[in-house]
Chain A
């Protein structure tokens, strides 16, 4: 399947990419690793008339120790996150979750920024960012702004990013010594999660839980977090995993089955996190 025709612009800098976006509005799409956008374009579910290739902006590919956080450039490929010793030491959950994205070929090309900006509720990485309480940095014509991960995902494949904004950095609060667990249930190798759960238990008793494919957006299991923080066991807290979620029904699972999976996988993830 061949995508619809488009004009191709290779951006030499983030500023150039933003200026191109600003000039074309919602007709333009950013191309990073391409592993979300190109499949959509091949099915013609996306038909941007202008594609702005930011894949060569090497200055946005980095993993740095920011003291109280780990800063990851938006164009950092999954393979780099997956194999980063810094990520393993200070945000181990994110490294583990990233190693479950797609397959090795996908991880060689796909980027963290692309995965997050795509806003797919079935994507694994947002669940880890929710559990870890990440902040996203966006650049636009007016400069940069920081967006809490809880304010970022606004609807199915929709985010808080404006038409003329691009994600530049993901900041993950350091979780040295925290326990964590990731559970992904799927039926085939390399497949999307039918349901997935990321959980972090920090030394102070704070618990973070993010869910995959349980809502129209990546979603926080807030009821589980507050129960766990008030001393509930993993099993007790996990009973609340589907609360407030509106999962969809599809070929793989009914709504009830997804709710059941969320409870079971949340318990396992919390237990793996040491609860």
Chain B
């Protein structure tokens, strides 16, 4: 089936099998490999992207469901060489260790702050409950999201 999607502002049209998962489409067909596959069971959130501005686990959508939609992946977040404020906060707060969960964590965090711009620490933790960090580096991740919510300045 032919689908057309906008990913990071660029239009793409491809013929896909209906059973193609969105994350496989993004990685293997479009070639954007910043979105990781972690658990493959809708649990870990490594594959989180935005669909029409909301965080979604791209392993739990078929590519055909995204036909006509506006997608944003980690590659589309920065403005050229200028990091997105959330990426900058992750950098400043050392909010990554091995880095595997980071793209999904950042995408989930950006969507979370869109919905709750001034969260408490507990709200941040609940807001990121769909994302697992197997380095267990949650402390600095939460710190980074709060840092970004506070405007990002040190």
Report which A residues bind B (CB closer than 8 A).
1-8, 10, 31, 34-35, 38-39, 41-42, 51, 53, 55, 79, 102-106, 108-109, 189-190
Contact = CB atoms under 8 A, between A and B. Distances in A.
Contact of B56 (A3, A42, A109, A190): A109
Contacts of A189: 126, 129
23 contacts: A2-B24, A3-B21, A4-B19, A5-B17, A6-B18, A8-B18, A8-B64, A31-B62, A35-B60, A55-B65, A103-B45, A103-B129, A104-B130, A105-B57, A105-B108, A105-B130, A108-B51, A108-B54, A108-B56, A109-B57, A189-B126, A189-B129, A190-B129
A5 B20 CA distance: 9
B40 A106 contact: no
Interface of B: 1, 17-21, 24, 40-43, 45, 48, 51, 54-57, 59-62, 64-65, 108, 111-112, 115, 126-127, 129-131
Contacts of B112: 104
Contacts of A102: 130
B130 A3 contact: no
A2 B21 contact: yes
Contact of A38 (B24, B62, B127): B62
Contacts of B17: 5
Contacts of B18: 5-8, 51
Contacts of B41: 39, 42
A105 B45 contact: yes
A2 B16 CA distance: 13
A102 B9 CA distance: 30
Given A2-B19, A104-B130, A53 B57 contact: no
B129 to A, nearest CB: 4
B130 A106 contact: yes
Contacts of A39: 41-42, 60
A2 to B, nearest CB: 6
Contacts of A4: 19
A10 B41 CA distance: 25
A51 to B, nearest CB: 7
A42 B40 contact: yes
A41 B64 CA distance: 15
Contacts of A2: 19-21, 24
